[in-house]
Chain A
């Protein structure tokens, strides 16, 4: 690849190669404070190549070779190249990671204990985690939470936060412009801008935390807290994991222990401030 970058996010090392300079320059700027290990052996390789469609391979080394939009429209390659690289890294993790039980969840930490939030895309878990990350919590990740099957600890994966549509203005209004990526307009998921996590989230990305609370957030509707039975929690977490079956018995042991020991609730919230207030209240009520 003509342009490349090797960077570490949490425990995973990625080598991103690109036929264009711009996406790698974007990554280099946004990931400037992350460990960049030129000579490291990467866990995964992501390639941005203009010669064929964006593809998925069910192997750890995925070639993202640029979709038709990338190939056809040179001006779009700059913006969507960054999105392709982020999607590529996510796919690598989702399909190839085996060292932890991977949960599709956001997580934040305070006083050594982690709050985990999981839900469908659009539930608000990512935005809520980003907002908490600006209000005294350490952002551990907006997309993937990595559960250690032996210790039960949660490991951070603090990649760039992917902000979508209305969440963009909410967050952009309270962080410096230098922490925001370029606006990627009209992607398949709407408008997207990436947020660089706060410096402490990056500096402490090797520090795990024990999970203390699990929430199923849902943006919209009156503020409400509902209990969720352990059976439903277990089922939803297996659905939120891409590698539960692949990891076998260690994953069963870790997840059943998580469900039996970590209190869980579903929350509805009409606004970010209301969501944060609910989180603070539930956190304060923990034993």
Chain B
């Protein structure tokens, strides 16, 4: 399986507004509003430390969160990253 690297959008491209039960994202280039829940906001925050692939992000996130089985968690992070890239809220590095 190919490992993709992803990077965060420039700060001016994405507005992030946490609500009590989910997080709103406003993607300026598309004008689209997205409603997301964990772990998407956490992945976005972890990408602020620099471009990364799923394995690196897993390492960053596991410092703060108990992610369970590493192989499964890493696969889930990879799937989320692919979906987030499709929406334009992250980019392939």
Nearest Cβ on chain A to B11's Cβ, whole angstroms: 15
- Contact indicator A252/B24 (Cβ below 8 Å): yes
Q: Mostly helix, strand, loop or mixed at chain A's interface?
A: helix
CA distance A125 to B89 in the complex (A): 37
A-B contact count (CB 8 A): 38
Give the residues in chain A near B31, CB-CB below 8 Å.
245, 248-249
Interface assignment of B15: CB less than 8 Å from any CB of chain A: yes
Give B4-22 interface residues, CB cut-off 8 Å to A: 15, 17, 19-22
**Mask of A115-152 contacts with B, CB within 8 angstroms, 1/0:** 00000000000000000000000000000000000000
Interface residue from A230, A232, A252, A260 paired with B26 (Cβ < 8 Å): A252
Give the residues in chain A near B33, CB-CB below 8 Å.
238, 252
Interface assignment of B86: CB less than 8 Å from any CB of chain A: no
Give the residues in chain A near B26, CB-CB below 8 Å.
249, 252-253, 256
Interface assignment of A231: CB less than 8 Å from any CB of chain B: yes
Give A239-287 interface residues, CB cut-off 8 Å to B: 245, 248-249, 252-253, 256, 259-260
Give the residues in chain A near B35, CB-CB below 8 Å.
231, 234-235
- Contact indicator B20/A229 (Cβ below 8 Å): yes
Count A-side interface residues using an 8 Å CB cutoff: 15
Instruction: Jot down 26 A-B pairs with beta carbons below 8 A, ordered by A.
Output: A229-B21, A229-B22, A230-B19, A230-B20, A230-B21, A230-B22, A231-B19, A231-B21, A231-B22, A231-B35, A232-B21, A234-B19, A234-B24, A234-B35, A235-B35, A245-B31, A249-B15, A249-B26, A249-B28, A252-B15, A252-B26, A253-B15, A256-B17, A256-B24, A259-B19, A260-B17
Give the residues in chain A near B21, CB-CB below 8 Å.
229-232
Give the residues in chain A near B17, CB-CB below 8 Å.
256, 260
Residues of B within 8 A of A (CB): 15, 17, 19-22, 24, 26, 28, 31, 33, 35
Of all chain B residues, which has the CB nearest A232?
B21
Give the residues in chain A near B22, CB-CB below 8 Å.
229-231
Nearest Cβ on chain B to A153's Cβ, whole angstroms: 20
Give the residues in chain A near B24, CB-CB below 8 Å.
234, 252, 256
Give the residues in chain B near A231, CB-CB below 8 Å.
19-22, 35
Give the residues in chain B near A252, CB-CB below 8 Å.
15, 24, 26, 33
- Contact indicator B15/A260 (Cβ below 8 Å): no
Give A62-112 interface residues, CB cut-off 8 Å to B: none
- Contact indicator A260/B28 (Cβ below 8 Å): no
Nearest Cβ on chain B to A39's Cβ, whole angstroms: 38
CA distance A272 to B31 in the complex (A): 41
CA distance A259 to B22 in the complex (A): 12
Of all chain B residues, which has the CB nearest A229?
B21
Nearest Cβ on chain B to A214's Cβ, whole angstroms: 14
Of all chain A residues, which has the CB nearest B19?
A230
Give the residues in chain A near B20, CB-CB below 8 Å.
229-231
Give the residues in chain B near A260, CB-CB below 8 Å.
17, 19
**Mask of A196-210 contacts with B, CB within 8 angstroms, 1/0:** 000000000000000
**Which of A234, A238, A259 has the most CB atoms of chain B within a 10 A radius of its CB?**
A234
Give the residues in chain B near A235, CB-CB below 8 Å.
35
Give the residues in chain B near A234, CB-CB below 8 Å.
19, 24, 35
CA distance A191 to B34 in the complex (A): 41
